[in-house]
A and B are shown apart, each in its own frame.
Chain A
Amino acid sequence: MSYTNLLVRLIDLAKPFLPLLPEIELPLEQLTFDDKVMYTIGTSFLYLLAQLPIFGASKTTNDPIHWLRPVFGAEQNTLLEFGVFPIISSGLIFQILSGLKLIKINFNNRLDRELFQTLQKVFAIFQYAILTNIFLFTGYYGYNLTFWQYILINFQLIGTGSVFVFISEIIDKGYGFGSGSLTFITINISANFVTDIIALNSVKTTRGYESVGALVNLVKNLRNKPFKNAILESFTRSYLPNLTQVYLTIGIVLVLIYLQNFRLELPIRSNRVRSVSNVFPIKLLYTGSLPLLFSYVVLFYINILGYTIVNLVFKNDSNQIIVKILGQYITTGFNSNFIVEKPSILYFFSPSKNLFESLISPLRTIIFFATILITSTWFANIWSSISGSSPKDLAIQFKEQGISIAGRRDVSISKELQRVIPVAAVSGAAILATISEIGELFGTNGKSPAIIVAVGAAFGFLELIAADFQQGGGSQNFGSIFGQ
């Protein structure tokens, strides 16, 4: 009893914040399609605009989470240092805990729902604060910072975090399409994707100035270098986007689009109107790309925890036994990434830099893949039964609309769905994990899972947009773009 009491109190933790935190007003009426598009564009614009350099940080940094950034829309050394990771992880964790009834929340009770929501919000902002200070005190922003630098960096990063908590609330509450945090990830990844291909600006490297865009780089190489070298370099350079990554990404998108339409069509019929029969599709990617997102949340926590212990407690000193076990961080290369290169715990929970590395240390590849596979499938199984589209929920919806599965009695609808949905969700998650790992084998450094998350979310948005568009009619301005 005391156990449950303790957990009941967890949502009560949010109580003091309830009157303090700003709340976005719910829209008075359903917004028009055009308004939603405007809000989505406006908020995305802000997200990209916020990628300004942090004021007060020194320039030489060792980035320990570079391969985790793409998935969460984070950009190094900018106000969006952690992207939307704190928002996403807070949401996923608390919604899983409540779904598994580890936190008792009565979702029929208004106050409980409010507290639950405020708790997720507070925890997201709290995580921004924690991460900022971990980075500050491990010397990520330079050593010997003055008191004012600490204050200012805290102000900037926590401020930006809170701002985007509220902006994603705007989208979540129905001013935009679907989910705010996923919108930001998607827009950031698509912007980076285009940047990787066609960015015109060049960066100074050991081989002189090179264009950032992979395609631009190819064209430039073809003009300046012998043909064979030009092609080879364009495909293999490791410090800037190369064509291998670009083609891999495009390949992944094409496969995903193909998989997206895998569905099991259950024959259904209406109980009210006889002779009307139809199909109800159960998609293979039932939980979309959320399982992969969850896997990366887990990997983020493992790595940030390890990073903190190694660098904050043991000062990255290789003589310490704990550092040997967890892994010593080493600064490498042009991007000054901070990585673990010797076999150790953190080494196994991070992806390889390139195909060569993946092949010479198969154990690392296997452990990394297994981590993603297990967390993804576990999550898919849970999520398919706790999110609002579980077999039970669907069965209730079917009943309300007077629909039944052809050849089944009403009672067995839930059972039939229960037989199909978890299998779909788990297989879908396993397939996505595999695709992501195939990309990571080639050293895409987090770009493969990122593109999967983005495309998966984009499909979710597309469904909502299509539904909205049908309701709103085709007379609106932006709507005509989607009209086919």
Chain B
Amino acid sequence: MAGDGLEKFTEVPIEFFKDGTAFVQKCTKPDKKEYIKIIRAVGVGFIMMGLVGYAIKLIHIPIRYLIV
């Protein structure tokens, strides 16, 4: 009984692992051109948001100095 339960316990993840690797292998992967294009888009967006965010955080330094 216990062995049975254990078998089931390991069976499900292994099954999923097999399915998963099969799925990943079947996937269409991005080619270099596509990849670089997305890196640029995401990178620019992320850095832009980050810089604006950092600018706002800079405002906090004098405010903290003033109020604390």
Contacts and interface: CB of A to CB of B under 8 A. Distances in A.
Interface of A: 41, 44-45, 48-49, 51-53, 186-188, 190-195, 198-199, 201, 253-254, 257-258, 260-265, 281, 284, 377, 420, 423-424, 426-427, 430, 454-455, 458-459, 462, 482, 484
A48 B52 CA distance: 10
A195 B57 contact: yes
Nearest to B20: A427
Given A188-B53, A377-B16, A427-B23, A261 B42 contact: no
Contact of B20 (A187, A201, A423): A423
Given A284-B27, A423-B20, A424-B23, A257 B42 contact: yes
A49 B30 contact: no
B29 A254 contact: no
A52 B63 contact: yes
A263 B26 CA distance: 9
Contacts of A284: 23-24, 27
Interface of B: 16, 19-21, 23-24, 26-30, 34-35, 37-39, 41-42, 45-47, 49-54, 56-57, 59-61, 63-64, 67-68
A370 B2 CA distance: 22
A426 B53 contact: no
A77 to B, nearest CB: 10
Given A49-B56, A52-B63, A462-B42, A262 B50 contact: no
A41 B49 CA distance: 9
Contacts of A190: 46-47, 49-50, 53
Contact of B68 (A44, A53, A265, A426): A53
A195 to B, nearest CB: 5
B24 A426 contact: no
Contacts of A458: 42, 45-46
A201 B61 contact: yes
Contacts of A192: 53
B27 to A, nearest CB: 4
Given A51-B60, A190-B49, A462 B41 contact: yes
B20 A191 contact: no
A254 B59 CA distance: 31
19 contacts: A48-B57, A52-B64, A188-B53, A190-B47, A190-B53, A193-B50, A194-B47, A195-B50, A253-B42, A261-B30, A262-B30, A263-B27, A264-B23, A423-B16, A430-B16, A430-B20, A454-B46, A455-B42, A458-B45
A426 B47 contact: no
Nearest to B64: A53
A258 B35 CA distance: 7
Contacts of B20: 423, 426-427, 430
Contacts of A48: 53, 56-57
Interface centre among A187, A198, A257 (most CB of B within 10 A): A257
Contact of B35 (A198, A257, A265, A459): A257
